[in-house]
Structure 1
Amino acid sequence: MKEHQYKATIEWTGNLGSGTDHYKNYERSHKVSIKDKVIIQGSSDPAFRGDPNKHNPEDLLLASLSSCHMLWYLHFCSVNNVIVEAYIDHATAIMIEEESGRGFFKEVVLSPSIRVRQPEMIAKAIALHQKANEYCFIANSVNFPVRHLPQVSAGE
């Protein structure tokens, strides 16, 4: 078994001068820094007083699930002679916010549209989504269902 370690620095940048002396007196802005990578400007969801022009943790979790699945899927297609020519996922998530303010993700639905080179690759291309889900590190780490609704077509 291998162990992989990751490091990120999250820095709050939303102090407007009085810190967190009142719920409405600070921004939720922050930056996500990972060595030698582009800085991600973050905030909370606009529903929670965040900046709608910045990524929020919920967006990033959804994006992580989608991209992890895609990368495993492309890997399994390549080793199974399924030639993918295009892949785009319009992923969605549902988060439940309780009256107390606590929340949790109810589910994520990945809805990738994939184009493979030949029609005879379609059935295998659809089947490989299950295998990609079984291997996705992020999907294996969450406690809610990650469903898949792939659409596969053949190139012309």
Structure 2
Amino acid sequence: MAQHSSTILWQRDDNAAFTDHRYSRRHTWRFDGGAVVPGSSSPHVVPLPYSDAAAVDPEEAFVASLSSCHMLWFLDITARAGWVVDSYRDEAIGTLARNAEGQQAMTRVVLRPAVQFAPGQCPTAQALQDLHHRAHASCFIANSVKTEVVCEPVL
């Protein structure tokens, strides 16, 4: 069993009353490998200036986590199968909406990976779908959530 850690740091500005909800949601994510990422609530949820549009919000991080995990498994599976991948780009989109219980939730994430293979290598559409299906089935993050995760490879 592996454990992964992050530290989330937030501090109230000196002159923010807090109880009036007029406080900054800007904070910092620190990861066990040393990366530091500015975080905030989404401006779609908490209006500016109390959010920081330039920072990563939890919903964006959720989508990126699913996309990144899928990509890493896809690269592993294709390498084992003898395919050479030159580039991979995924413009993933997550939807924040009400779930069946009426709660706000990330109800759907659509992955749209566009993969460029080495010259002379071009799997069939069915082989590409199979590679993505295997990556999805292996993804730790996708296996950890109840959100519908859809993979729509860009052909």
Q: Is TM (by shorter chain) over 0.5?
A: yes
Matches within 5 A, 1:7-156: 7-24=5-22, 26-47=23-44, 48-49=46-47, 50-97=51-98, 102-117=103-118, 118-123=120-125, 124-152=127-155
Residues 27-70 of structure 1: per-residue CA shift (max 9 Å, x gap): 00110112342210100001213111111000101000000000
The change in CA–CA distance for 1:29 and 1:102 in structure 2 (over 3 A counts) is farther
Structure 1 residue 73, shift from structure 2 partner: 0.3
Structure 1 stretches of 5 or more lacking a match? Answer: none
Structure 1 residue 126, shift from structure 2 partner: 2.9
SS in 1 for 2:5: coil
Residues 1-29 of structure 1: per-residue CA shift (max 9 Å, x gap): xx1111111011343434522112x1001
User: How high is the sequence identity, in percent, across the aligned residues?
Assistant: 32
SS in 1 for 2:123: helix
Distance 2:74 2:103 in 1: 33
Distance 1:120 1:18 in 2: 57
The answer (yes or no) to whether the contact 1:14–1:29 under 8 Å persists in 2 is no
The answer (yes or no) to whether the contact 1:44–1:51 under 8 Å persists in 2 is yes
TM norm structure 2: 0.86
Superposed structure 1 runs of 4+ greater than 3 Å apart: none
Distance 1:125 1:14 in 2: 49
TM norm structure 1: 0.86
Structure 1 residue 125, shift from structure 2 partner: 2.9
RMSD in angstroms over aligned alpha carbons? 1.9
Question: What count of residue pairs does the alignment treat as equivalent?
Answer: 147
Distance 2:83 2:4 in 1: 32
